Structure 1
């Protein structure tokens, strides 16, 4: 069972770490300002949806720490370094889409895209997820199922 008082203290710690007030924090995670206020005051318990929004918006927050206070916040730097990002050249990126039917890779179906990417993986690694960010702030999420 979650302790509302302790959860609200951890949530406040996250907000302080990022320099957010309740309004800006609510806007970043996509909830109403009153939701933050009610959770911080202990009036309401956080919903699963609320917790998931915090985790997806702020990558340094660990689920177990947020819910139970066990673990660490922010995530340690060594954990962030365990999965280095290897950039690919423009030509390599184009090769990934060379067998697709559609010339615009964004319009390719999720499963076709991931299947093609997995087939082209030369280092033996399998791609689990691709996120494409657009200039208007929206994004597309492609997950391997």
Structure 2
């Protein structure tokens, strides 16, 4: 059985990775915006149609990870240069080696802090904009 709050957390992870708002995510997978709101709040469980639309639109999302949190996201073996691979088996943290490798590739003169996002175990998150 799917845990609503953990599913909502994984949806938030996907939206953050692709830099999409809830409404942008809904538009991208062609579902009503209210369905995203209901899923993120834990009010509704995802339908099979919803899950299939997510994995069809976002190739890096593995079905098993989306439903159960097992496996990795993104699924591709070579993550985007500015995003680390998230492994929920380790509590959702980016592996230390990915952080170190990513840290070395940053040209600090061209980078500015945009936002910081805190994800909580109850499926909620807090976003701070710079």
Shorter chain as denominator, the TM-score bin is: 0.5 to 0.7
Displacement of 1:7 in angstroms is: 0.3
Aligned to 1:20: 20
Alpha-carbon distance, 1:48 to partner: 0.3
User: Where in structure 2 are the equivalents of 1:76-115 lying within 5 Å?
Assistant: 76-77=76-77
- Structure 2 residue runs without a partner (length 5+): 79-130
Aligned residues: 78
TM-score, structure 2 as length reference: 0.59
Query: Runs ≥4 in structure 1, deviation > 4 angstroms?
Result: none
Deviation of the 1:76 alpha carbon: 3.3
- Select the structure with the greater relative contact order (CA < 8 A; seq sep ≥ 6): 2
Identify the residue that residue 6 of structure 2 maps to in structure 1: 6
Which structure has the bigger radius of gyration?
A: 1
- How far 1:77 sits from its partner (Å)? 1.8
Q: Output the CA distance in 1 between the equivalents of 2:34 and 2:22.
A: 9
The separation in 1 between residues aligned to 2:20 and 2:41, in whole angstroms, is 17
Query: Pairwise mapping of residues 53-68 of structure 1 onto structure 2 (< 5 A)?
Result: 53-68=53-68
Matches of 2:46 and 2:76 in 1, distance apart? 25
Matched with 2:105 is none
With structure 1 as the length reference, what TM-score do the two structures score? 0.53
Gaps of 5+ in 1: 79-145
Residue 35 (1) aligns with residue 12 (2):
no
